[in-house]
Structure 1
Amino acid sequence: MERLEFRLLGFPEFRMNGQRMPLALRKAAALLIFLAEAGRPVARETAATLLWPEADEETARARLRRILYKIRIAFRSELVAVSGTSLSLHPALCVEIDSRIFEHACDHGSLETAANIHTGDFLAGFSLSDCQEFEEWAFFRREALRSRLTQALERLVETQIAAGEPLTAVVHATRLVGLDPLSENAHRHLIRAHLAAGNRAAAERQLEACARHLQEELGVTPDPATIVLLREPSKTTAPEAPRTRYVEVDGIHLAFQTVGRGPPDIVLVPGFVSHVERIWEDSRCRAWIAAVSRIGRLILFDRRGVGLSDRVGARPTVDATAQDIVAVMNAAGSRRALLIGSSEGGPGCIRFAVDYPDRLVGLVLWGSLAKGSRTPDYAFALTSEQYDLWKRRLVANWGGPAEFETFAPSLVGDRQAEAWWAGLLRAASSPGAVAGVIDALRDTDVRHLLARVSVPTLVLHRSGDRAVHSEAGRFLAAKIPGGRFVEVAGDDHWFWVGDQNPLLRSISEFAERHH
């Protein structure tokens, strides 16, 4: 059996039976790469449109035939199996793809191996300027793999410091900073690694480098939580991010943290994207966490597929979110809790409240909704067309503070907050994965569950919320038996932005009344 190797992390290379095979035609290389990554038959029309988007069908098919001929000549072998309707790599080949090996190592916790495999960005230096669809596909794939590398490096740094291997942690943390020099979280990882290695001078130099990057690029200074790392423990007053722990459910590792002491326990289910460590970079978010943790023991976690939890390659469901909540509560030793569902996390919390009412003292829904898209009997959500437009906007602006003006209009122009959001997005997910999350939200409908919610429920919403209309919150409170609706002034969707006092006061009173 002939062995075909793809090296796609970096500028692409092809090897046949160990011998490097030059392939000068970029579209021939692009076709092989696309088929290898697909791992299944691809419609001929899809391949033709991908490579010759402006050509008519007959011309594109003719060009595809010529490309297949040139691949066969270059490799002196039948690499592509061709049927009347589809193309695929020949099933007789033994195919090895470094990007797939990297993902497999991430999936199975072989993080050191994964970090060693990812030596460069996906298809670095390779492009087809006249093929926008291919460029978009490559961009999605590149961002997904970079996100997984960031996740692997973050985990490695923490585990190696804990295992007494700080010098190895320094190597990985240095690489982490290189991936995102404007991420204070990455700089903190490196500062901690230097301190663990006993090299205070290097930690101080890293803080100086962090300050220089932030000043030159954003015109801001480091957050006090970064500076405080170099102070003596007895002089530290700023809240420190707790250790991230993991629990396994159905073979998926979920990242979670606990902050403060109970009772009650308070479980926060995030919206469409989260990262339990990056949230600590933003001073407003950190202050909100500190305030809630004074009400009770706060349990934070990343749902499957985002943040530091395992990527799963599947659209999230409300049932999966409910399973995640169970697993995290069990791992944290929480028998009963106050459950807070934020935005897109709300429907999964509703599912949990119906299935596990004995595990809850109450349910709080913040800026949330029962149905993702508009219908004649649910008029206060986006239409399918508006969802598609929003998704395209989000994906098109990936790498920057995508949709920041929707989620936090009061912070528009705050360069530090915008840089934090952009960095959190890149670390927590990828444009392709988020597109799947948006599609799942569009199709979500838990209205049939609302009448079955039997636990005390508080629905909180800002009057001018631009992401989820306040009428969606009113609907939830009206349909849940005994549901109470509290509307507060403001336009921000994020709970830690704007006036937090009414929200914190409502949560505190609700928790005191029901725990």
Structure 2
Amino acid sequence: MYRFEDCELDLRRRELRRAGVAVHVEPQVFDVLAHLIRHRDRVVTKTELLDEVWGDRFVSDATLTSRLKAARQAVGDDGRGQRLIATVHGVGYRFCGDVVGEEAHPDAGASLPPVRHRDTQEIRYCHSPDGVSIAYATSGSGPPLVKAANWLTHLDIEWQSPIWAHWIDALSHGRRLVRYDERGCGLSDWEVTDFSLDAWVEDLELVVDSVGLERFPLIGLSQGGAVAIAYAVRHPDRVTRLVLVGAYARGRMQRAATVEEREEADLDLRVARVAWRRDDPAYRQVFAAQFLPDAPRVLWEAFNQMQRATTSTDNVVHFLDAFAHLDVSAIAPQVACPTLIAHARRDQRVPESQARELAALIPASVLHLVDSGNHIVLHDDPAWPDLVRRIDHFLVAG
């Protein structure tokens, strides 16, 4: 914990607070600020900052300048006053505020897992018929694998995210991975009005056509599974194999069968709407715990930071409503390709029963349950090697 003026920089929680109120900063801005404060006894060169925050990735000086500007704004400084972050022309930058440091308690929690610096990804854009700009990325080399977009992705941030980086590594290994940000989040347009399954499937069609793929395996995680199912049904001649991880055929409102279940689902949705609009940090902790119950608290914070940087609060509400009402149960039996359905046994966000329902609906499917409670299986989760091995074997067999 570092304190200066009316600010607190909490490294364990990855949170900046001013006058006790959390200030939203993007992960790279936070890392720039943290590195400058840690090394406030000297001038930090531009090269050192670039290496520390971006590793082997090439970024322009303009990118660094924009992150420094955002860091200054976050702590109440600016480029003219330079009261806290000073520019040493021709050399670099120095944090010159009075800082009080506080050591973390030994039991404060685990540290973030290291993220390996990997080869660069290629990010490009395509444009939907309704004028929405969709960002997509390719990484790795070999036969293609397409990943349908899922909950709040960000092609740039997730590249080194402790939540998603190991997924990118595994899916890109020996393959050319194609992934994209769905409309409304990440590097794609945020100003959208159509949050529907049809729009999401059409965006997937657009990305696939832009990359120039004819036949390929398709993977869908969480609600991305419904998008992948719908695409596979529309294009049976193009999808060779289908992988569904933590997926479901029916959203929570759709699968509520009793009065009590409908009331519970409706209450959950209404609370989520209010909490996200209020930017309630307590609720975000509960939300993260549903996705990653087996993870240390520091990863809950990383998950929360990424979600807040990925889209607007209004869009989160639209997404939650749309996901709750998803239903591909009527078309799932039309999936014609071999399908692997992988699911965490103790998944709290999407119960194991939803995987069993998918397996019963899709004719050429195989169900594989992994021993985890995490909706997003993490790199150090004992279930992770088993999950990767099963996906690899399934794709290689195709």
Instruction: Show the 5 A alignment for 1:486-497.
Output: 486-497=368-379
1:376 matches 2:257: yes
Q: How far apart, in 2, do the equivalents of 1:220 and 1:501 lie?
A: 21
Give 1:426's match in structure 2, choosing from 308, 313, 322.
308
> Is residue 470 of structure 1 aligned with residue 347 of structure 2?
no
Residue 392 of structure 2 corresponds to residue 502 of structure 1:
no
Say whether residues 1:202 and 2:113 are aligned partners: no
1:367 aligns with 2:243: no
**1:1-400 alignment runs, 5 A limit:** 166-178=60-72, 201-202=91-92, 238-250=117-129, 251-263=131-143, 265-283=144-162, 285-372=164-251, 373=253, 374-376=255-257, 383-398=265-280
Q: Which amino acid aligns with 1:448?
A: A
Aligned counterparts of 2:212 and 2:260: Cα–Cα separation in 1: 41
Distance of 1:445 and 1:221 partners within structure 2: 39
8 Å contact kept, 1:335–1:359:
yes
Secondary structure of the structure 2 residue equivalent to 1:434: helix
- TM-score where L is the length of structure 1: 0.55
Aligned length in residues: 324
1:500–1:380: structure 2 CA closer, same or farther, 3 Å change rule?
Answer: farther
1-side partners of 2:176 and 2:313: how far apart? 33
> Are 1:412 and 2:319 an aligned pair?
no
For each residue in 1:315-354, what CA deviation from the matched residue of structure 2 results, as whole angstroms up to 9, or x when unmatched?
5211111111122122223222211111111111111011
Is the contact made by 1:399 and 1:425 (CA closer than 8 Å) also made in structure 2? no
- Separation in 2, partners of 1:241, 1:284: 18
Distance 1:223 1:486 in 2: 27
Is the contact made by 1:399 and 1:426 (CA closer than 8 Å) also made in structure 2? no
Deviation of 1:307 after TM superposition, in Å, equals: 0.8
Question: In 1, are the aligned partners of 2:109 and 2:296 still within 8 Å (CA)?
Answer: no
Is this contact kept in 1: 2:124–2:135, CA < 8 A?
yes
Does the CA-based 8 Å contact 2:222-2:246 persist in structure 1? Answer: yes
**Whole-angstrom CA distance in 1 between matches of 2:59 and 2:361:** 54
Q: CA RMSD, aligned part only?
A: 3.9
Whether the aligned pair in 2 keeps the contact of 1:405 and 1:412 (CA below 8 Å) is no
**Per-residue deviation at 1:219?**
8.8
Counterpart position of 1:234: none
Contact 2:132–2:189 (CA under 8 A) maintained in structure 1: yes
Question: What residue in structure 2 maps to residue 458 of structure 1?
Answer: 340
Change (3 A) 1:343 1:248: same
CA shift for structure 1 position 447: 1.1
Cα deviation, residue 422, structure 1:
2.3
Q: Does 1:512 align with 2:396?
A: yes
Unaligned runs of 5+ in 1: 1-141, 151-163, 182-193, 226-236
Shift in CA distance, 481/167, structure 1 to aligned 2, threshold 3 Å = closer
Shift in alpha-carbon separation, 1:256–1:302, aligned structure 2, 3 A: same
Question: Which is richer in helix?
Answer: 1
Which structure has more relative contact order (CA 8 Å, sep 6+)? It is: 2
Q: In structure 2, list runs of 5 or more residues that go unmatched.
A: 1-22, 30-57, 76-86
**Structure 1 residues 399 and 299: CA distance shift in structure 2, 3 A:** farther
* Structure 1: distance between partners of 2:180 and 2:168: 13
Letter in 2 for 1:171: T
1:509 corresponds to which letter in structure 2?
H
Q: Which amino acid aligns with 1:244?
A: I
Would you say the 8 A contact 1:341–1:366 is kept in 2? Answer: yes
Deviation at 1:395, TM superposition (A): 4.6
Higher Cα Rg: structure 1 or 2? 1
Q: Using a 3 Å threshold, how does the CA distance of structure 1 residues 450 and 255 change in structure 2: closer, same or farther? A: same
Shift of 1:175: 2.6
Residues 325 and 300 (structure 1 numbering): CA distance in 2 closer, same or farther, change over 3 Å? same
Aligned-pair CA distance for 1:448: 1.0
Contact kept, 8 Å, 2:343 with 2:352, in 1: the verdict is: yes
Q: Percent identity?
A: 25
CA distance 1:412–1:365, shift in 2 (3 Å): same
With structure 2 as the length reference, what TM-score do the two structures score?
Answer: 0.70
User: For the Cα contact (< 8 Å) 2:163–2:303, is it kept in 1?
Assistant: no
CA shift, 1:476, in A, is 0.7
Partner Cα distance (2:218, 2:74) in 1: 33
In the alignment, does 2:361 pair up with 1:479? Answer: yes
| SS of aligned partner of 1:411 | coil
Residue 388 of structure 1 and its aligned partner are, at CA, apart by 2.5
